[in-house]
Amino acid sequence: MSFFKSKRRQIDGLELDHKNEGPDNLADNKINIAERWNVLNGQNNWEGLLDPLDLDLRQYIIHYGSMAQATYDAFNSEKSSKQAGNSRYSKKDFFSKLGVDKANPLKYTVTKYIYATSSVDAWSKESNWMGFVAVATNEGKKGLGRRDILIAWRGTVQNLEWGDDLKFLLVPAPDIFGGNEEPKVHNGWHSIYTSDDPRSPFNKTCARRQVLEEVKRLVEQYKNEDISITITGHSLGAAVSTLNAVDIVANGHNKPQDMPDKLAIDTEKSSYLKRGDFRSWHSLEVYLHGVAGTQGLNGEFKLEIYRDLALVNKHMDGLKDEYCAPASWWCEKNKGMVQKADGSWELVDVKCDDS
């Protein structure tokens, strides 16, 4: 494992010079996830792994955080597009288009897209792409040590989704808690998870039913193998992930452990970042940068594994200017506009397979 190396990287014709501390890619980390996955999943309540943060656990957290980030990066928020609100990429091309599987042995295949609507007024019965269900490939199974079923939920992007975030009323959720009406959950998040719309081509069944049926199908398909179910999300996606996890437990697909200790990170200690504000404090890419370099709340910040600094600036301007990464550089080429043979331009939408 090599540290303190200078790495040059090129993004869409712009050459960047990053003085990163860490190995070149995931494969160079000599990770031991396959041998330790039960421990990394909390079998021993992460005892002795959090401070200092275990190297394998760092990579594990970043791996699943990257899957949550992929839901943001793939979301089509271009209002002029006929596919606005959907994923920009088909299931078969999803990870390759996003570059998630490049130099990454922990590979997955997307098996189903998740769509959600809401019964609260703010959503106006719209349907939006909310994430995906994926399963580890045979190659990914070798790196992960088991056949992992992954569920990734997208965080808040659409203005209408903020309406659900602000629906603070708590409501009973017997559908999630096995008939028990005593536990109460956030009304907006519950609505996103459980609402359907027979008029919508995407939400004839609710997001909850879409996910549970796909998980049941995959569990049956791989019932003779070691299986795990992993759920990831950020912001709104983290809230819905929690509901989803409880729901899966209540339906007998998994069994909860005791609540773990918390992993605390302080990204203000990073010398790579500009002074933070509300947007950067809530950025998933900043969180993952923090995981890569945290030395505990009492330690300084030092990158222990390689994670490209340019990723911090994907959707914001959080990286110091000396690292020469443009702000908000992640975007569809020419915003999806394609030049035709006669020289004119048009917005070309790629219709996604939505099943």
Q: Which residues are catalytic?
A: 235, 261, 282
Main-chain phi, psi angles of 194, to 5 degrees:
-115, -5
Provide DSSP, 43-83: TTTTTTTBTTBPHHHHHHHHHHHHHHHHHHHHB---TTSTT
> Which residues sit opposite 112 in a β-bridge?
133
Residue indicated by tokens 């990770």: 31
Neighbours of 161 (CB within 10 A): 23
Q: Please, is 186 exposed, middle or buried when counting C-beta atoms within 10 Å of its C-beta (0-12, 13-18, 19+)?
A: buried
Dihedral of the alpha carbons of 23, 24, 28, 31, in degrees to the nearest 10 = 60
CA 8 to the chain's CA centroid: 26
**CA distance linking residue 325 with residue 318, whole number of Å:** 10
Q: Using alpha carbons, list the distances in angstroms from residue 254 to 186, 219, 247, 277.
A: 23, 11, 10, 38
